Chain A
Amino acid sequence: MSDQTRIRNFSIIAHIDHGKSTLADRLLEATGAVAERDMREQLLDTMDIERERGITIKANAVRLEYLANDGEVYTLNLIDTPGHVDFSYEVSRSLAACEGALLLVDAAQGVEAQTLANAYLAIDSGLEIIPVVNKIDLPSAEPERVAAELLGILGGSQDDVVQVSAKSGSGIPDLLEVIVKRLPPPSGREVAPLRAMVFDSYYDTYRGVVCSIRVVDGAIAKGEHVRFMATDLADAADEIGVLQPEALQVENLATGEVGYLITGVKEIDLIRVGDTVTDAAYPATEGLPGYQEPKPMVFSGLFPTDGDEFERLREALDKLRLNDSSLVYQPETSRALGFGFRCGFLGLLHMEIVRERLEREYDLDLVATAPSVEYEAHLTDGSTVRVRSPQDLPDAQVLADISEPFVKVMIITPSEYVGTVMELVQQRRGRMGEMTYLTPERVELHYEVPLAEIVFDFFDQLKSRTRGYASMDYEPGDYRLSDLVRVNILLNGVPVDAFSSIVHKERAYRYGRAMVERLRKLIPRQLFDVPVQAAVGSRIIARETIKAQRKDVTAKCYGGDITRKRKLLERQKEGKRRMKMVGQVEVPQEAFISALRIDE
């Protein structure tokens, strides 16, 4: 199988729910890779959370053998890509392992921003794109309109668009032929030092780190010594193989081929997506282009609701990191929430997934502080401090100014909502960029917006203000100076670190007011009046008072009631034990969780 001309490496680019996994399943069936009775729906998605959310977190690759109409057997490597912007670097590496991509769009939904962002990524990487319209058998399908939209983006003619129903399987044989005919074969140098790109890796308890690789130049053989160029780590290639989709060991992988590699490496940190594998004895002089270090964008404190669970949280994070080198964390102490970790995530979805996995797979009960971004604080002495948590912001006396990260946002919306979207972006301190009509009904808008505004509730707002029709995507931009302040929340005069936040000066009042009102409702009345204040520096910008409790007695206690009432009081006291004491104020755990929930 060393003939590159009979290899086709490709990905499927699609929005959530547009049918990527179903299409992958059909391709596997049609090529006989999986017997129909063995099919577990959506085979490529392995983790429960992925299956439930209908998204894929980790890229993976499946090798299909396809007997084409020309009588030749082709090797099709279907390389799965993560579907979300948080993982755009991983997407870019998966795409770099391909020569082509299927751009899959739901016939009833049309193109979404995320799909388009990934399509642009694929076009920029020089991939050949095959537009595919899916779900053509839905009653609400508009395949012509959607095809027109796709052609507006990609160019080409109506005949280039393949129409399928992944659910029923119709159009699949045509699609396979198109893949063979239209996608180019790999064109690596066969006689050259080995260069293979790692486009995915995961940790297996028994085997250590398993990486997915695409051989670009040369070949890799079982047992040879290889070197990971970015981390400069050398080890033996203990096992190589392909996934069909079950693992099949092979003796070697030739130029253009895709498969997996297992070395003796046990730490996921040491094998990075985008790194180049070369022959340790005859190394390539240069790695493959495009490698980047993983960079967290969004930060949040995670604290166990039960302080005794801190060690379990640490163990759980350690285990998650085995499989996810982009997750970073360091211990953090909060006066209000106790011991926890400041965690860095690639984006909001990544944060949600990690939290959900910690709660579900490790059975932890967590409080998460409001997500924040990494600020640059410029000090009067000319130095710069990176600030990942509001508490880390240096004092005003030594602070010259603050920069914050901006992102480039792309939004696709029906044209009737353009005004609404512009208004939202303006409220969020965004700057207008280009605006393109994809069709008369659909507009592509570009903005630059502070990431901090995006992590707040931008996406939810966009969805609700456009009745769910707009979609968005973003990519990192640069740092810019902003007029930012830290708002502290004081309970009975004592600052509560978990509630402080760095916000734009013009938003400080709104944030402060919202927080003190929320806390007044959430914190039960105490024996005395409790002031709840929001402050910038020493200036109080908002205040509410939790009035002293006036009644805490059950009306009736009769002979039949004594045991029950005693137990009730004991239970209530147990509940109070779980409260945190902040400045002599008893604050229920629930108040922290609810106050920090941004969707209310």
Chain B
Amino acid sequence: MSDRSVAVDEAAGERAAYIHIPFCHRRCPYCDFAVVDLEEEPAVVDRYVDALATEIALEPEWAPLHAINLGGGTPSVLAAGQIERVLEALSARFGIAPGAEVSIEANPEDWTRSHAASLRRLGVNRVSLGVQSFDGDVLRSLGRNHDPRMAVAAVENSSSAGYENVNVDLIFGTPGESVASWCETVATAVQLDARHLSAYALTVERGTALSRAIRAGSPAPDEDDLADKYEELVDMLPSRLIHYEVSNWAEAGSECRYNLTTWAQGEYLGFGLGAHGHRDGVRRRNVRRLDVYLSSIEEKRRPEAGREQLDPWARDKERVFLGLRRRDGVRAGRAGAALWDSEAGRRFARAGVVDLVAGRLVVLEPLLTDAVAREVLALAEPQAG
């Protein structure tokens, strides 16, 4: 396949860090991330930033980072000085490699020209804007605080502040959203000339307000509607935006390096509330309760809630399950070959869902990726010989 496939696999060798900023003005009805209500706890933000710096210092030394992702929550609610502290702590502990991707998630309503500019000066060079839709009714259904006009302004503010890479984050399939409304949203995003586009099917996570509403009788996202909108999207996007993962499109060279690392089973550090990390083959996750997180850090203990280390076979299956999400597929290796030789693999091949191309296992129907992944994860280890 293309050189890019190789580049994609090489992301496994990159080093990344994820910083979780849990604060939000209010929780979106579909969100199940670790979130803290900013209105209730304004005073805790400084304490949290201190804790992040301490947690970073507690982590054993590593090599310079190639990708840093500030996610949330809503990282854009932090003041520039607070972001600066976090980046300095990372730089002091691990170093930041030249040309590293430093990305932040932002809500359009926070992303003023001056805020965008001051974060850019700190070295943040990529912004992922939580636009979700350019339809005001859909935004209201999603419980968002911004309107379409703010979303457009946020993209423009990013360009004028000199961000190298701007991602427009969209959600489709909100009940009440028409296909026409979705196409309008996609067209607007394309006009804004962003280099990166993420489009996520609205997903009903357990324990969210959305799932409670649906249980109480509100309409749920519909499989056919989601599939229709996904297909519309694929048809509408210009060729400069390359489909590189199930829900992600980018211009060549503008793929999100942090995400590529995770899909390549690469290693990354996770700091903050509920954050996950993957280092030396061990996956770790932090506690999700703010008070527990803060008190552990203040006692100089890592706020670990659990860890996992897979045996070599399970690890290879994990590699394939993650890699299958990429449009260039994944080096088949042992697990990929085992799938290809299995009854399920033959069924998928017959149905035109998977193919094996130059040693890479590729999902041809991205909307059926999980059906394939499930079979991969269920594979028994082939006996040697």
Name A residues whose Cβ lies closer than 8 Å to a Cβ of B: 525, 527-528, 547, 549-563, 566, 569-570, 572-573, 576
Cα distance A284–B230 when bound, in Å?
A: 87
Residues of chain B contacted by A572 (CB below 8 angstroms): 370, 374
Known: A528-B351, A560-B276. A549 touches B375 (CB 8 A): no
Known: A551-B230, A555-B203. A560 touches B375 (CB 8 A): no
Residues of chain B contacted by A527 (CB below 8 angstroms): 347-348, 351, 353, 368, 371
CB distance from A178 to the nearest CB of B (A): 58
CB distance from B375 to the nearest CB of A (A): 7
Q: Are B378 and A573 in contact (CB under 8 A)?
A: yes
Would you list the 4 A-B pairs with minimal beta carbon distance, nearest first? A550-B227, A555-B200, A560-B276, A559-B262
Q: Are A560 and B318 in contact (CB under 8 A)?
A: no
Q: Which of B275, B283, B325, B374: most chain A Cβ within 10 A? A: B374
Q: Are A550 and B259 in contact (CB under 8 A)?
A: no
Q: What residue of chain A has the Cβ atom nearest to residue B352's Cβ? A: A527
Q: Are A559 and B377 in contact (CB under 8 A)?
A: no
CB distance from B102 to the nearest CB of A (A): 16
Residues of chain A contacted by B246 (CB below 8 angstroms): 553, 555, 557
Cα distance A104–B275 when bound, in Å?
A: 71
Residues of chain B contacted by A555 (CB below 8 angstroms): 200-203, 246-247
27 example contacts (A-B, Cβ-Cβ < 8 A) are as follows A527-B347, A527-B351, A527-B353, A549-B371, A550-B224, A550-B227, A551-B226, A552-B369, A552-B371, A553-B366, A553-B367, A554-B370, A555-B203, A556-B203, A556-B247, A559-B268, A559-B276, A559-B278, A560-B18, A560-B20, A560-B270, A560-B275, A561-B276, A566-B318, A570-B378, A573-B377, A576-B374
Q: What residue of chain B has the Cβ atom nearest to residue A559's Cβ? A: B262
Cα distance A569–B366 when bound, in Å?
A: 16
Residues of chain A contacted by B285 (CB below 8 angstroms): 560, 563
Residues of chain B contacted by A557 (CB below 8 angstroms): 246, 262-263, 322, 325
Per-residue A-contact encoding for B43-87, CB less than 8 Å = 1, 0 else: 000000000000000000000000001010000000000000000
Residues of chain B contacted by A559 (CB below 8 angstroms): 16, 18, 69, 258-259, 261-262, 268, 270, 276, 278
Residues of chain A contacted by B18 (CB below 8 angstroms): 559-560
Q: Which of A554, A555, A563: most chain B Cβ within 10 A? A: A555
The residue that A549 contacts in the complex, of B368, B369, B378, with Cβ under 8 A, is B368
Q: Are A553 and B368 in contact (CB under 8 A)?
A: yes
Asked if B299 is an interface residue, CB under 8 A from chain A, the answer is no
Asked if B223 is an interface residue, CB under 8 A from chain A, the answer is yes
Q: What residue of chain A has the Cβ atom nearest to residue B18's Cβ? A: A559
Residues of chain A contacted by B21 (CB below 8 angstroms): none
Asked if B321 is an interface residue, CB under 8 A from chain A, the answer is yes
Residues of chain B contacted by A551 (CB below 8 angstroms): 201, 223, 226-227, 230, 367-368
What would 16 more interface pairs be, CB under 8 Å, given A560-B285, A566-B318? A550-B223, A551-B201, A551-B223, A551-B226, A552-B370, A552-B371, A553-B370, A555-B203, A556-B203, A557-B263, A558-B259, A559-B16, A562-B318, A566-B377, A573-B377, A576-B374
Q: Which of A527, A553, A570, A576: most chain B Cβ within 10 A? A: A553
Interface residues contributed by chain B, number (CB under 8 Å) = 49
Residues of chain B contacted by A569 (CB below 8 angstroms): 321, 370, 373-374, 377
Q: Are A563 and B201 in contact (CB under 8 A)?
A: no
Residues of chain B contacted by A554 (CB below 8 angstroms): 203, 370
CB distance from B312 to the nearest CB of A (A): 15
Asked if B308 is an interface residue, CB under 8 A from chain A, the answer is yes
Per-residue A-contact encoding for B36-47, CB less than 8 Å = 1, 0 else: 000000000000
Cα distance A413–B54 when bound, in Å?
A: 80
Cα distance A561–B18 when bound, in Å?
A: 12
Cα distance A551–B366 when bound, in Å?
A: 9
CB distance from A276 to the nearest CB of B (A): 62
Residues of chain B contacted by A563 (CB below 8 angstroms): 276, 283, 285, 308
Per-residue A-contact encoding for B131-159, CB less than 8 Å = 1, 0 else: 00000000000000000000000000000
The residue that B321 contacts in the complex, of A525, A566, A576, with Cβ under 8 A, is A566
Cα distance A576–B378 when bound, in Å?
A: 11
Asked if B274 is an interface residue, CB under 8 A from chain A, the answer is yes
The residue that A560 contacts in the complex, of B16, B274, B308, B370, with Cβ under 8 A, is B274
Cα distance A563–B274 when bound, in Å?
A: 13
CB distance from A460 to the nearest CB of B (A): 26
Per-residue A-contact encoding for B348-381, CB less than 8 Å = 1, 0 else: 1001010000000000001111110111011000
Q: What residue of chain A has the Cβ atom nearest to residue B347's Cβ? A: A527
CB distance from A340 to the nearest CB of B (A): 27
Q: Are A573 and B374 in contact (CB under 8 A)?
A: yes
Cα distance A561–B200 when bound, in Å?
A: 15
Cα distance A562–B321 when bound, in Å?
A: 10
CB distance from A478 to the nearest CB of B (A): 51
Cα distance A528–B263 when bound, in Å?
A: 29
Cα distance A562–B268 when bound, in Å?
A: 12
Cα distance A527–B354 when bound, in Å?
A: 12
| Cβ < 8 Å to A, chain B residues 195-220 | 200-203
Q: Are B351 and A552 in contact (CB under 8 A)?
A: no
Cα distance A553–B261 when bound, in Å?
A: 20
Cα distance A127–B151 when bound, in Å?
A: 89
CB distance from A582 to the nearest CB of B (A): 16
Per-residue A-contact encoding for B3-26, CB less than 8 Å = 1, 0 else: 000000000000010101000000
Q: What residue of chain B has the Cβ atom nearest to residue A575's Cβ? A: B374
CB distance from A522 to the nearest CB of B (A): 16
Q: What residue of chain B has the Cβ atom nearest to residue A525's Cβ? A: B223
CB distance from B269 to the nearest CB of A (A): 10
Residues of chain B contacted by A558 (CB below 8 angstroms): 71, 259, 262
Residues of chain A contacted by B370 (CB below 8 angstroms): 552-554, 569, 572
Q: What residue of chain A has the Cβ atom nearest to residue B33's Cβ? A: A560
Q: What residue of chain B has the Cβ atom nearest to residue A561's Cβ? A: B276
Cα distance A553–B18 when bound, in Å?
A: 24
Residues of chain A contacted by B322 (CB below 8 angstroms): 557, 562
Cα distance A299–B255 when bound, in Å?
A: 64
CB distance from B104 to the nearest CB of A (A): 15
Residues of chain A contacted by B347 (CB below 8 angstroms): 527
CB distance from A441 to the nearest CB of B (A): 42
Cα distance A559–B70 when bound, in Å?
A: 12
Residues of chain A contacted by B227 (CB below 8 angstroms): 550-551
Residues of chain A contacted by B308 (CB below 8 angstroms): 563
CB distance from B113 to the nearest CB of A (A): 29
Q: What residue of chain A has the Cβ atom nearest to residue B226's Cβ? A: A551
Q: What residue of chain A has the Cβ atom nearest to residue B286's Cβ? A: A560
Q: What residue of chain A has the Cβ atom nearest to residue B265's Cβ? A: A562
Cα distance A49–B20 when bound, in Å?
A: 56
Cα distance A225–B373 when bound, in Å?
A: 74
CB distance from A568 to the nearest CB of B (A): 9
The residue that A562 contacts in the complex, of B203, B262, B366, B369, with Cβ under 8 A, is B262
Cα distance A147–B103 when bound, in Å?
A: 87
Cα distance A566–B316 when bound, in Å?
A: 13
Q: What residue of chain B has the Cβ atom nearest to residue A528's Cβ? A: B351
Cα distance A562–B324 when bound, in Å?
A: 13
CB distance from A565 to the nearest CB of B (A): 8
Residues of chain A contacted by B351 (CB below 8 angstroms): 527-528
Cα distance A559–B325 when bound, in Å?
A: 13
Cα distance A562–B246 when bound, in Å?
A: 15
Residues of chain B contacted by A556 (CB below 8 angstroms): 200, 203, 247
Q: Which of A558, A560, A576: most chain B Cβ within 10 A? A: A560
